[in-house]
A and B are shown apart, each in its own frame.
Chain A
Amino acid sequence: MGLEAKLNKDGFLTTTLDAMISWSRKNSVWPMPMGISCCAIEMMASGDPKYDIARFGSEVMRFTPRQCDLMIVAGTVTYKMSHVVKKIYDQMPDPKWVIAMGACTSSGGMYRSYSVVQGIDQFLPVDIYLAGCPPRPDNLLNALIQIQEKIGRTKAREFQDSLPELPVLQNN
Chain B
Amino acid sequence: METKELVVNKLKENFSDISFEFSEFRDELSVSFDKKHVVKICKFLKEEPDLEFLLCEDVTAVDWAKRKNRFTVVYHIFSLKHNFRLRLKADIDESDCKVDSVTSVWKTSNWQERETYDMYGIEFNNHPDPRRMYMPEDFEYHPLRKDFPLMGIPGSLPLPKK
Contact = CB atoms under 8 A, between A and B. Distances in A.
B1 interface: no
A114 interface: yes
Interface in B119-162: 134-136, 143, 148-153, 157-162
Contacts of A112: 150-151
Given A80-B136, A114-B143, A86 B151 contact: no
A1 B75 CA distance: 75
Contacts of A115: 134-135, 143, 152, 157
Contacts of A87: 160
Interface residues of B, number: 16
A112 B151 CA distance: 7
Contacts of B157: 79-80, 114-115
A56 interface: no
Nearest to B161: A123
A117 B159 contact: yes
A168 to B, nearest CB: 13
Given A112-B150, A113-B150, A114-B151, A122 B143 contact: no
A82 interface: yes
A83 B152 contact: no
B162 A122 contact: yes
Contacts of B150: 112-114
Given A114-B143, A115-B143, A83 B160 contact: yes
Interface in A97-134: 112-115, 117, 122-125
Chain A contact-residue range equals 10 to 19
Nearest to B141: A114
Contact of B159 (A82, A113, A114): A82
Contacts of B148: 114
Interface string B3-18: 0000000000000000
A82 B151 contact: no
A123 B149 contact: no
A114 B149 contact: yes
Interface string A69-108: 0000000000110110011000000000000000000000
B107 to A, nearest CB: 26
A80 B134 CA distance: 9
Nearest to B156: A114
Nearest to A80: B136
B160 A123 contact: yes
A41 B162 CA distance: 28
A79 B156 CA distance: 10
Interface of A: 79-80, 82-83, 86-87, 112-115, 117, 122-125
17 contacts: A83-B160, A86-B160, A112-B150, A112-B151, A113-B151, A114-B143, A114-B148, A114-B149, A114-B151, A114-B152, A114-B153, A115-B143, A115-B152, A122-B159, A123-B160, A124-B162, A125-B162
Which A-B residue pairs are the 10 nearest by beta carbons?
Answer: A114-B152, A86-B160, A79-B157, A123-B160, A123-B159, A83-B160, A123-B162, A82-B159, A114-B143, A122-B159
